[in-house]
Amino acid sequence: MRAVRYWSVSHAGAMQRVYQALERLLIMIDPLLRKLGYQHLEAPFAAVERVLKGWFFDCRMCGHCVLQSTGMSCPMNCPKQLRNGPCGGVRADGSCELDPAMRCVWVEAVRGAARLPGERIQVIQAPLDHSLVGRSAWLRELRLRTAP
Amino acid sequence: MRFDDEPIEPGDPLPILPGHHSAGRFERLLRAGVFTITAELSPPDSANAEDVYARARIFDGYVDGINATDGSGANCHMSSSGVCALLTRAGYAPVMQISCRDRNRIAIQGDVLGAAAMGVNNLLCLTGDGVAVGDHPGAKPVFDLDAIALLNIVRTMREQACFESGRALTTPPKVFLGSAANPFVPPLDFQVARLAKKARAGAEFVQTQYCFDVSLLERFMQQVRDEGLDKRLFILVGIGPLASARAAEWMRTHVPGVRIPDAVIDRLRRARGKGAAKAEGKRICIDILERVREIPGVCGVHLMAYRQEEAVAEIIDRSRALDGRIPWYPGRDRHSRPAREVDSPTELPEEMLA
């Protein structure tokens, strides 16, 4: 829902704090998750993410979350799915070239990023790995963080 | 302007100078600090090579590079790689536009190698217009990459000699890399950050969207200089003549990302009489060219004169943007080759000995 999506950007700071708390929690219980086996957790994690991130960010389950680099505005809602910045077609009122009823995802991202510390919006994002689509982004991130 | 090491055959590459990336004239001119001019060739809806050459000849002696568009406005035309293949045969310096809308990373990387092998020295990496604005709104939009990811990949191909997958190339593509900028649309203050990101991803030159609002450009260029980006990027400002007030109205509502101030449209509207609006459109373009040329950090202009290609020569002449120099075109040096450069005349083809 767009209204909720815009609200999440307006509260990007709070959203990021929730994310950081979740991160700490997951890292803490990682040994337990590891024992259970990541492969068994994939489906339930993905289901939870689909609901939660779907509600707050209109998540499209790309499997490679970059919300904290995009001011909590999900770039997959861009009709061109641009992960590095807006295209050159943004309308003068800040709405999308292809969907005039929607505010440009990147105009929103800049608004959200202003509420977050650091300059993560400047990070160059690699092209999406399409083999991750539909999978849990949290588990992937956790695996990368805790990899020995 | 002539280079001392001009190749004898027009299609042959120039030697790549130290610190340069490509064998092309376009990069040479920019790095020499010359005010450089490019123009957009509108690709034909035909399979006839002569249609491409006829459109290129209009610019002979006026431009330093010819942009070959890649389905601009999401409309179908002859491909940019096809146009570039023809242009390089004649020795022209094309800027091959690559849009991410129609092809994925496998197709695009293959095209980059093919283009470089054909003698294309300049690539303009674009995201591309959405399919909804074009003549095939039912087409599948690809957007596997965006312009910044594409720049990064081509630079990796050039410098690390490998594909995005990491697989090695035996000969990397020696290309000069460019991208687009649009200083005229929101998020205005992020546009410079976006440009910086493009420079970090590999862009060396930039061609902007149509500039009709010079004060916005001045503001943008101030930010560009504050960030030191004018030292890292060659910036060519997009300009073009408007045919009438109605055409201008159509353009600002239908062409994504084009911003035309009311003052410009009023100026066109006031021009009455046959051909008056068209003449005024050219005058506006010349005024803009003269003003942007004075802005520090602007290295040239990119002329987009859709359906008015014949106006390009007049605009360049009247604005004196070339300062009297004649850009290379096929046949330019045929009769005027200075003797000092012909060390061994017996090796030259007959027509050059005339």
CA–CA distance, A109 with A99 (Å, rounded to integer): 17
pLDDT of residue B95: 98
Q: Between chain A and chain B, how many beta carbons pairs sit less than 8 Å apart?
A: 105
pLDDT of residue B162: 98
Q: Is B270 within a domain? A: yes
Write the pLDDT tens digit of every residue in B1-25. Answer: 788 888 877 778 899 999 999 999 9
- For an interface test with B, the pick among A64, A69, A84 (most B C-beta atoms closer than 10 Å) comes out as A84
Closest CA to B124 of B52, B50, B177, B195: B177
Mean pLDDT score, A113-141? 95
Number of domains in chain B: 1
- For an interface test with B, the pick among A60, A64, A73, A80 (most B C-beta atoms closer than 10 Å) comes out as A80
Which residues are CB-neighbours of B261 under 8 A, at least 6 positions away?
A: B212, B213
Proportion of chain B above pLDDT 90, given as a percent:
86
Q: Which two tokens stand for residue B282?
A: 């050219």
**Residue B315 domain boundaries:** 25-353
A86 Cβ under 8 Å from any chain B Cβ: yes
A124 Cβ under 8 Å from any chain B Cβ: yes
Write the pLDDT tens digit of every residue in B146-195. Answer: 999 999 999 999 999 999 999 999 999 999 999 999 999 999 999 999 99
Tell me which chain B residue has its CA closest to the CA of residue A97: B256
Give me the CATH number covering residue B142.
3.20.20.220
Q: Is B10 within a domain? A: no
Q: Which two tokens stand for residue A119?
A: 């300059």
Write the pLDDT tens digit of every residue in A47-75. Answer: 999 999 999 999 999 999 999 999 999 99
Which of A129-138, B246-255, B303-312, B341-350 has the weakest average pLDDT? B341-350
Q: How many residues belong to chain B?
A: 354
CB contact under 8 A, A88 and B146: no
Proportion of chain A above pLDDT 90, given as a percent:
93
Proportion of chain B above pLDDT 70, given as a percent:
94
Q: Is B209 within a domain? A: yes
Q: Is B310 within a domain? A: yes
DSSP run (H or E) holding B342: none
> Phi/psi at A70 (nearest 5 deg)?
-125, 35
Does residue B203 carry a pLDDT above 70? yes
B206 Cβ under 8 Å from any chain A Cβ: no
Does residue B351 carry a pLDDT above 60? no
Residue B350 CB: number of other CB atoms within 10 A? 6
CB B212 within 8 A of CB B288: yes
CB contact under 8 A, A90 and B146: no
Q: Which two tokens stand for residue A105?
A: 């995802």
> Phi/psi at B320 (nearest 5 deg)?
55, 35
B332 Cβ under 8 Å from any chain A Cβ: no
Distances (CA, A) of B179 to A43, A66, B68, B209: 41, 24, 14, 11
pLDDT of residue A52: 97
Does residue B344 carry a pLDDT above 80? no
Contact list, B229 vs chain A (CB under 8 Å)? none
ipTM exceeds 0.90: yes
CB A63 within 8 A of CB A135: yes
Q: Is B265 within a domain? A: yes
CA angle, residues B54, B56, B61, in degrees to nearest 5: 120
Write the pLDDT tens digit of every residue in B107-141. Answer: 999 999 999 999 999 999 999 999 999 999 999 99
CB B255 within 8 A of CB A91: no
Partner residue facing B256 (CB), from A97, A124, A128? A97
Q: Is B189 within a domain? A: yes
Q: Is B44 within a domain? A: yes
Q: Is B35 within a domain? A: yes
